[in-house]
């Protein structure tokens, strides 16, 4: 079915015999993609995008985990922070773009900060739920054993909540890539988003579509890899549960 679409597009593009600024034949797209892969531009841009996405994800993961665990362990803190969390969470991450631009200018730091903000929330919210949902008996055990806060977090809470935290991580990784590409398209002269924007502006539709497919491929591989890792680490059950 998708194959048939590609063939139809190819025939349509060939038979119309015109050079378009907006569309390109599938073969041209593939050629442009191979060319850009060959001269390293795609790989360099991919490296930039992935670096910022991962950097932001790491930062967001750290902040989200710390707050998520704290709010999950201490229901009082959770209730007291309710308003503040609900007030900050709905701010769309791209709305911070101008602020980050003002503070950091263009470049990695600005993009990383936005990715961190975008990924922090799903991790915080899901970690909080995961920690709050830990079997109460386990926490009683840790109290009976007289474990300190840190020991409790590292020996009981984290291992028990890990499968669900990984789900949060997988979700956040998808968000990280999306936010990174979006920031690059909107403003930041870096990475794949910028590359695809400049391909459009220099009226090179073949390269533009090649980059689009490439971005899709990266997103798919990332998602697939994380699902696979999740299955390996936590078994089929975790994947099924996460899908719901």
Partner 1 sequence: MTVARLAWFAGSLVVGALIILGWQWIADAKLVSPVFLPGPDRAWAALVRGFASGTLEEKLFGTVERMVYGWLLASLVGIALGAVIGISAVARAYLAPMLEFLRPLPASAIIPVAIALLGLSEGMVLAVIAFGALWPMLLATIHGFAAVEPRLYEVSRALGLSRWSVIWKIALPSALPDILSGMRLGLTIALILAVVGEMLASRDGLGLWILLAARSFRAPDLFAGVIVLGLLGFVSAMILTVVEHRLLRWRATR
What residue ranges bind partner 1 (CB under 8 A)? 1-2, 21-22, 79-84, 86-88, 90-99, 101-103, 174, 177-178, 181-182, 185-187, 192-193, 196-197, 199-200, 205, 208-209, 212, 215-216, 219-220, 222-223
3-state secondary structure 186-242: HCCCCHHHHHHHHHHHCCCHHHHHHHHHHHHHHHHHHHHHHHHHHHHHHHHHHHHHH
Q: Shortest approach of partner 1 to residue 181 CB, angstroms? A: 4
- Between 90 and 146, whose beta carbon lies closer to partner 1? 90
Q: Can you tell me the distance from the alpha carbon of 214 to that of 5, in angstroms, rounded to the nearest whole number?
A: 18
Q: Shortest approach of partner 1 to residue 92 CB, angstroms? A: 5
Q: Shortest approach of partner 1 to residue 127 CB, angstroms? A: 19
Report CA-CA distances (Å) from 102 to 89, 95, 97, 107: 21, 12, 9, 12
Question: Could you tell me which residues come within 8 angstroms of residue 138 by beta carbon, excluding any fewer than 6 positions away?
Answer: 156, 160
Report CA-CA distances (Å) from 97 to 106, 116, 153, 225: 10, 12, 34, 29
- Between 163 and 205, whose beta carbon lies closer to partner 1? 205
- Between 23 and 158, whose beta carbon lies closer to partner 1? 23
Q: Shortest approach of partner 1 to residue 152 CB, angstroms? A: 24
- Between 78 and 156, whose beta carbon lies closer to partner 1? 78
Q: Shortest approach of partner 1 to residue 13 CB, angstroms? A: 15
- Between 36 and 181, whose beta carbon lies closer to partner 1? 181
């Amino acid at each position: 079915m998708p194959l048939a679409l590609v063939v139809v597009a190819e025939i349509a593009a060939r038979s119309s015999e015109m050079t378009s600024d907006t569309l390109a034949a599938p073969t041209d797209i593939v050629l442009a993609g191979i060319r850009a892969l060959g001269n390293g531009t795609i790989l360099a841009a991919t490296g930039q995008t992935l670096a910022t996405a991962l950097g932001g994800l790491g930062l967001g993961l750290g902040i989200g985990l710390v707050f998520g665990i704290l709010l999950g362990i201490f229901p009082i803190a959770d209730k007291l922070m309710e308003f503040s969390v609900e007030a900050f969470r709905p701010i769309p991450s791209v709305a911070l773009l101008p602020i980050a631009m003002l503070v950091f200018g263009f470049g990695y730091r600005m993009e990383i900060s936005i990715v961190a903000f975008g990924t922090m929330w799903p991790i915080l919210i899901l970690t909080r739920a995961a920690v709050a949902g830990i079997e109460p008996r386990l926490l009683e055990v840790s109290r009976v054993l007289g474990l300190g806060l840190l020991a409790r977090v590292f020996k009981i809470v984290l291992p028990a909540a890990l499968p669900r935290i990984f789900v949060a991580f997988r979700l956040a990784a998808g968000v990280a890539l999306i936010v990174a590409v979006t920031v690059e398209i909107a403003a930041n002269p870096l990475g794949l988003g910028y590359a695809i924007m400049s391909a459009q502006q220099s009226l090179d539709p073949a390269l533009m579509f090649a980059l689009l497919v490439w971005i899709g491929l990266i997103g798919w591989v990332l998602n697939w890899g994380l699902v696979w890792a999740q299955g390996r680490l936590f078994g089929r059950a975790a994947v099924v549960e996460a899908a719901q």
